[in-house]
Structure 1
Amino acid sequence: MINIFQPSLGAEEVAAVAEVFESNWVGKGERTAKFEAAFAEHLGVGQDRVMTVNSCTEGLFLSMQLAEVGPGDDVVLPTVSFVGAGNAVASRGARPVFCDVDPRTLNPTAADVEAALTPVTKAVIVLHYGGRAGEVAEIARLCRERGILLVEDAACAPASRVEGQACGTVGDIGVWSFDGAKILVTGDGGVLTARDPGLVERGRKLTYFGLEQVSGFSQARQAGTRWWEFQISSFSRRSVMNDVQSAIGLVQLGKLGGFVRRRQEIADRYDRRLRGTAGITTPPPLPGGQTSSHYMYWIQLDPAQRDQVAADLYAAGIYTTFRYAALHAVDAYDWDGWLPNAEHAVAATLCLPLHQALADDDVDFVADTLLESVNAR
């Protein structure tokens, strides 16, 4: 089976984990601090603005807590988004308000976001679909003008930039994912960054039980203290990354540039094979000033054919999917509305295999099988 996502892990990651085991410390420690510093450098921000979390979803939940979102508040987010974003809003007792998306990029435009704002909108969450920045700069300006906090779900965009600025740092809070289906993989884990370092400082306590003094071992160095005693500032949970994940992350971060270059080569090959083909719509070119992480490559087909084409590809040993199912159609969110661009995209879009381990022959096989299926309809 040609997988749609696949990590690239090898001997260097194994060696890094072995060093952690030999240190006899596998919890959050020195390597996690080093990974935070390295990721901050990658983003071009200060280390005081970056913290690790155990998943991107936890970062989204934490962002809503840091934004003090609660009952009576609305949070605008694109309906084509990950369920973790919708759950993060609803878990605070707030109302998710879903906005439409551009029918080809599947990212929300500034106009889409503005149309969904209400008098009680407290925050906006945007997803960088497939690794593309979209209109995040314009959305950020809109949010600043309205006094609304902007959260960037940059799970798909670890190396994406707009006018040289890293996605995830354009708004007020950004979150990233390192799970097994992402580009930079640590198994699980994530990062949260904030424009205000004070939010990160507060976030560190919220991800470790609300403890005022995190390390009794460090406190023990001070004479005259009872280092086993503690105080808490909130009723919080434990949701940190550890040194095993961080050691893998440091190796993967060093490879990220090469991963993205290979993914771009694959996307370009798909473009050459598929662009201009009757019955297949490929992603539009990137706007000037933007770079993509090329997390996903998607095509759009006649909705009456899309599911059968996916079945044909699967029968040939090619796994495809559609991400992300429209959240406004999820009954639990109790949303009543029609979003025409998203409705079309959800019915027409199919994501093709894209990961750095794909060989050119694999890409050609996917393209050939796709063309054969579409031409047979």
Structure 2
Amino acid sequence: MNKPTNPTILFNKPYVDERVVESIRQVILAGKLSGDGVVCHEVEEQLKQLFNIKHVLLTTSCTHALEMAMMMLDLKPGDEVIVPSFTFVSTANAVLHAGGIPVFCEINPHTFTMDVNDVERKITSKTKALFPVHYAGVSAEMDEILELARKHRLVVVEDAAQGVNAKYKGKYLGGIGDIGAYSFHDTKNYVSGEGGALVTNNEHYARRGEILREKGTNRSNFLRGEVDKYTWVDCGSSYVLSDILAAVLKSQLEEIKEIQTRRREIHNLYVSGLNDLGQKEKLRLPIIPGYCESNYHIFCILLRDEAERNRALAKLKERGVRTTFHYVPLHSSPYALKELGTKNIQLPVTDEVAGTLLRLPIYPHLTDEEVRFVIEQVHEVLKD
């Protein structure tokens, strides 16, 4: 196959069309660009309706939504929160910022989400919460996680940064545990450039979240006419999303079915085009369990070892295809080794997945021709 017209197939490209431009234009003409405005409220209602969640608070990032969630737990010194090591640093940072200690657990070798058996082994009298991270649009085993939480009286906070519009047994991710967090970063399926949301079906957490998001004030109560003035009532920060960024997201959500459909099509093209390499055990294709409805956020393959993964990454770049690895496990990071004393933690599945995983381009602007070109180049690189 000849190389597509574009000289390089990018790893990621956010979905942007004329509808996005018009949405931003309307906000500018309306003359209000700051946070928690009319468009923010419209988008929050969109998200509630789309994902059947009672309370949605748009935030400046998923990182900030995670931090707010941990702040709500009122952690004391020495309190522990169990998190997978195979996650973005924001998950662990949220625990640390709230005064807790992240305890790193192993991942399931099929879904790359937290291993519930290892989680149970690591629950102690100091454990206050479980922090499942949904990976690549594939959900953690939420029934088992919720059962552990009930048994040990723990809070469940879902890091659903990669789980927007994905489901576990018919339920949308983010709204299954006590609190959830979404990401609308430039790299996600539905974007605002930078942005996130704290979501919950719990009235108490929603009201606390409003206060934390508004610098620790009861401004939201004031705007609803519930108090005659607003004042400082808690320790918070400024986490409200601007109407301009909300406008970008609004236009994306209006095309949510089209975006999801195109990502599924690309995923299926990859699966059919690379299946022969999977049968020859040259790579492992992604696994989507029957209980999960994926949003196809990531298409990743596992190669035989880290050296082959790194070689494939370099060779594909030479051939005009940008790919990438993913997380460096947090338990082996310089900060964790120095500050959290994680040197002796053994998480072999996490280490193996992190060392062999390669992510291929997947985004709506990719053409079928480009996807077939990527498939061909993967075959060429792995043929030896």
Fold agreement, TM-score > 0.5: yes
1:311 counterpart = 2:314 = yes
Partner residue, 1:247:
247
Per-residue CA distance 1:170-203 (angstroms, 9 max, x = gap): 1111100111111101111111112311211111
The residue aligned with 2:188 is: 182
SS of the equivalent of 1:275 reads: helix
Once the two structures are superposed, what CA deviation does each residue of 1:144-168 show, in whole Å capped at 9, x if it has no partner?
Answer: 2211111111111111011211011
The percentage of counterpart residues that share the same residue type is 29
> Any conservation in 2 of the 1:137–1:170 contact (CA below 8 Å)?
no
Offset of residue 218 of structure 1 = 7.9
Cα distance, 1:214 vs. partner? 4.9
Give 3-state SS (helix, strand or coil) of 1:127's partner: coil
Whether the 8 Å contact between 1:52 and 1:192 is mirrored in structure 2 is: yes
- Structure 2 partner of 1:274: 274
The counterpart of 1:22, out of the listed 29, 43, 52, is 29
Q: Which one-letter code corresponds to 1:255 in the other structure?
A: E
Counterpart position of 1:8: 15
CA–CA separation in structure 2 for the residues paired with 1:99 and 1:357: 36
The 3-state SS of whatever aligns with 1:72 is coil
| 2:27 alignment partner AA | V
Q: Aligned-residue CA RMSD in angstroms?
A: 1.9
Distance (whole Å) between structure 2 residues aligned to residue 200 and residue 217 of structure 1? 16
Equivalents in 2 of 1:342, 1:145: separation in Å?
26
Report the counterpart of residue 351 of structure 2 in structure 1: 343
For the residues of structure 2 that align with 1:361 and 1:280, how far apart are their CA atoms? Answer: 22
| Structure 1 residues 102-156: Cα deviation after superposition (integer angstroms, max 9, x where no partner) | 2232112321321222221111111111010131222122212211111111111
- Does 1:83 pair with 2:83? no
TM superposition shift of 1:369: 0.8
CA contact (8 A) 1:5 1:353 kept: yes
The alpha carbon displacement at 1:354 in A equals: 0.9
Q: CA deviation at 1:324?
A: 2.1
1:151 is aligned to: 157
Structure 2 CA distance for aligned equivalents of residues 217 and 166 of structure 1: 30
Whether contact under 8 Å (1:71, 1:93) holds in the other structure is yes
Q: Which runs of no fewer than 5 residues in structure 1 stay unpaired?
A: none
- Describe the SS at the equivalent of 2:232: coil
Q: Is the 8 A contact 2:175 2:201 kept in 1?
A: yes
Query: Which residue identity lines up with residue 290 of structure 2 in the other structure?
Result: G
1:73 aligns with 2:79: yes
Distance 2:232 2:182 in 1: 27
2:375 is matched with 367
Asked if 1:37 corresponds to 2:45, the answer is yes
1:82–1:324: 8 Å Cα contact kept in structure 2? Answer: yes
| 1:190-339 map, 5 Å | 190-214=196-220, 230-277=230-277, 278=280, 279-284=282-287, 286-303=288-305, 304-333=307-336, 334=340, 335-336=342-343, 337-339=345-347
CA 1:102–1:88 in structure 2 vs 1: closer, same or farther (change >3 Å)?
A: same
Aligned-partner Cα distance in 2 for 1:87–1:95: 10
Please, what TM-score do these two structures have when normalized by structure 2? 0.91
